[in-house]
Structure 1
Amino acid sequence: MEIAIRNHTGASSVQVSDAVFGVEYKPGLVHQVVTAYMAGARAGTKAQKNRAAVSGGGSKPWRQKGTGRARAGTSRSPLWRSGGVTFAAQPRDYGQKVNRKMYRGAVRSILSELVRTERLVVVSELALEEAKTKALIALLKSHDLTDALILTDGFDDTLYLAARNLPKVDVLSAQEVDPVSLVAFETILATEAAIKKLEERLA
């Protein structure tokens, strides 16, 4: 299939694989992979001490009988002040298993849907003379874009610096693309070289 290249010199297009940019949209698979990707980003670093983890409390506070007080085996009981927590929270891994075939299938599905809905804008190249936010805003405005993920074939320091103050704009290389980034933006603005690298990665 062909995707039109939007440039100011004339009409042209780039030939891409139907197996990457022309597959059926699978919302269930996309939802599963996006959910798993976001779950994997959770730290899960919470921890409380149970009665075994609280220091001290090794000896019995008082003898079993004869004191008139309730029997107690440790001063680190959850009933006591400075004791352990009854159901103590422990570090947790929120990761979900997603194999490579599912992951790539979800990315292909998202890209294909972006092409069908005309939300994938391809240009021959993207270049800024200096890392100025104003210059990037003008570049996006020339393509009628305000909410966009910019894809390049490699890390572009100038574009990255120009975009970091824009809340609805981000810059990624074709090697860094993930399902969450693809669904988070209204439009994807990609260079022709980035499209080719994506095709190689997902073929």
Structure 2
Amino acid sequence: MPKLPVYNMSGEQVDEMELSDRVFAASVRPDLMHDVVLMYLAGQRRGTHKVKGRSEVSGGGRKPWRQKGTGRARQGSIRAPQWKGGGVVFGPKPRDYHYRLPKKVRRLALYSALSTKVGEGKVVLLDQLSVPNIKTKHMVTLLQKFDLNRVLVVDAEREEDVMLSARNLQGVKYVGANGVNVYDLLHYDHVVLTKDAVLKVQEVFA
């Protein structure tokens, strides 16, 4: 089992914690992480893109010239796709890009992402995470103690005061344990976990 030091908010080591092998020391599967990241990004697409087809553009109700006798190619409408201002052929329409991979694949990818961060030494454990009041400087001070910039902060449950103190910081994201995902774990350089968050992740995802 991997064992990591546990720090308080002053940056002092106060304990050590053993992590689950299944969640934090799993074999790394880059292929599964790639698939899950693609699924996540597909789910973020709004899918509201739209172009007008031949039946939707204005005009073109009259046949531009008679069928025969002019020497020109036959045309039925000036809004056919080959005309300037005509409809678009096979253009994008509003659609839902969301899809879901099997639960087992998503779990294995999450284990891989967490294990990667632990293996790279980019996980910081805190005994607890709290702020006396809603001030961004409290989070700035905490991150400076550990020399962290781009960081994902994970707590067992999202605390309103901590969330409001962290939301204005560029490169910092604060989530509850249930909101941990592969994309965020790979996107941010470091991960800060509370002890309760570790227990919650191991309980929920293992």
Alignment TM-score, normalising by the size of structure 1: 0.87
- 2:88 is aligned with 1:85: yes
Q: CA RMSD in A?
A: 2.3
2:130 to 117, 127, 130: 127
- 2:53 is aligned with 1:50: yes
Counterpart contact for 2:81–2:89, Cα < 8 Å: yes
Query: How many matched pairs?
Result: 203
- 2:157 is aligned with 1:150: no
Deviation for aligned residue 1:194: 0.7
Distance 1:105 1:67 in 2: 68
Q: Which sits farther off after the overlay, 82-91 or 29-38?
A: 82-91
2:181 to 157, 178, 183: 178
- 2:156 is aligned with 1:159: no
Distance 2:73 2:117 in 1: 69
Counterpart contact for 2:5–2:13, Cα < 8 Å: no
What is the SS of the residue equivalent to 1:175?
helix
Q: Deviations over 1:37-66 (max 9, x none)?
A: 122212232221222333554553443234
Q: Which sits farther off after the overlay, 122-131 or 55-64?
A: 55-64
Distance 1:28 1:69 in 2: 57
Q: Which sits farther off after the overlay, 1-10 or 179-188?
A: 1-10
**2:30 aligned partner:** 27
- 2:200 is aligned with 1:202: no
Distance 2:109 2:90 in 1: 38
Unaligned runs of 5+ in 1: none
Deviation for aligned residue 1:97: 4.5
Relative to structure 1, is the Cα distance of residues 10 and 55 closer, same or farther in structure 2, using a 3 angstrom cutoff?
closer
Relative to structure 1, is the Cα distance of residues 46 and 3 closer, same or farther in structure 2, using a 3 angstrom cutoff?
same
Deviation for aligned residue 1:171: 0.5
Identity of aligned residues (%): 39
Q: Which amino acid aligns with 2:46?
A: A
Unaligned runs of 5+ in 2: none
- 2:67 is aligned with 1:41: no
Deviation for aligned residue 1:197: 0.8
What is the SS of the residue equivalent to 1:49?
coil
Distance 1:81 1:71 in 2: 16
Matches within 5 A, 1:53-72: 53-55=56-58, 57-66=60-69, 70-72=73-75
**1:4 aligned partner:** 5
Q: Which amino acid aligns with 2:5?
A: A
What is the SS of the residue equivalent to 1:135?
helix
Distance 1:181 1:6 in 2: 23
Distance 1:107 1:162 in 2: 27
